[in-house]
Amino acid sequence: MKNYLIDRLQAHGESRMREGYFCNRTLLSSLQLLAALLLCCFYQQSWAKDGNFGGGDGSSSNPYLIEDAADLGAFRDKVNAGNTSICGKLTADIDLSTVCGESIGSWEPIGVIRNGSGANLTSLSEFTGTFNGNGKSISGLYVNYQKIQNRTTDYQGLFGYNGGEIQNLHVNGYYLPSGCAGGIAAWNLGKIINCSFSGSFNHKGDYIGGITGHSAGEIINCWSDAKIYAQPNDNGGICGYSEGSIS
């Protein structure tokens, strides 16, 4: 009987050792998997912040996926370089305070009109694509005409000159503009749909609007609670001066 009990105890001990071995192996494998996932996320985030977009080719069926401020800046640069019909879609809320601000400089708009001496138009990059905010928001927008790197544009906003479609977007920002300015777009010849703006304008001129400063296009289902400190001519909560439709 004594030998039987010893044998059973030995067998039980070996079983417990095997269980411990497999538990340790399982724990080790889980930790390795977790480390791999964290490393993958790190590289993915690093890649996403270099302005290479999260996917897409800029076409209407496969828009650029805009994940962060660097991506939005890259999208702007493509449009202003002449690729005016490209399309983009936000995949996350974006904070622009890392790329524009009082101590950094002004945001330069997507789609610009540049003037030469006087009012002679020398360059036009009218945005004609589709920008889908996808229900996301852009915050930290800072527009200051005196701090725009190339101060030849008199149309300031997230977008300067829109001839395409901007939709499903909320923007929060602060403006110290000169000339025509709008929370979403300064000058609208296209469509602005389901968009909103909150923030303020401090301005001495005309054509200031919470959504757009001057519109000959369509503004559909948009709202704004913008605070506008400006001269009373052609300024408005939605549109400063409209030749188009607002519904």
Amino acid occupying residue 59? S
Q: How far apart are the first and last CA of the chain?
A: 94
Question: Each residue of 7-46: pLDDT tens digit?
Answer: 553 554 455 445 454 445 554 455 565 554 444 443 333 3
Q: What is the dihedral of CA 216, 220, 221, 222, to 10 degrees?
A: -30
Task: Report the pLDDT value the prediction gives residue 72, as an integer from 0 to 100.
Answer: 98
Q: 3-state secondary structure string, 64-129?
A: EEECCHHHHHHHHHHHHCCCCCCCEEECCCEEHHHCCECCCECCCCECCEEECCCCCEEEECCECC
Q: What is the pTM of this model?
A: 0.76
25 by DSSP, 3-state: which? helix
E strand segments, the chain: 64-66, 88-90, 94-95, 113-115, 121-124, 130-144, 155-162, 165-176, 180-188, 191-202, 208-209, 212-215, 218-220, 223-224, 227-229, 235-236, 239-242, 245-246
Q: Which residues pair with 224 in a beta bridge?
A: 197
Of 113, 169, 172, the C-alpha closest to 140 is 172
Q: What is the DSSP letter of 50?
A: T
Residues 166, 185: contact at Cβ < 8 Å?
yes
**Rounded distance, CA 164 to CA 60, Å?**
12
- Tokens for 121? 């138009």
Average pLDDT over residues 162-180: 93
Task: Report the pLDDT value the prediction gives residue 41, as an integer from 0 to 100.
Answer: 43
Q: Name the pairing type of β-strands 121-124 and 113-115.
A: antiparallel
Task: Report the pLDDT value the prediction gives residue 123, as an integer from 0 to 100.
Answer: 57
Residues 172, 198: contact at Cβ < 8 Å?
yes
Alpha helices by DSSP H, 199-239: none
- What are the distances in angstroms from CA 206 to CA 77, 146, 163? 27, 17, 21
Average pLDDT over residues 96-120: 79
Mean pLDDT of the chain: 81
Q: What is the DSSP letter of 57?
A: -
Question: Each residue of 172-227: pLDDT tens digit?
Answer: 999 987 788 999 999 999 999 999 999 999 876 679 999 999 999 999 999 999 99
**Rounded distance, CA 231 to CA 115, Å?**
23
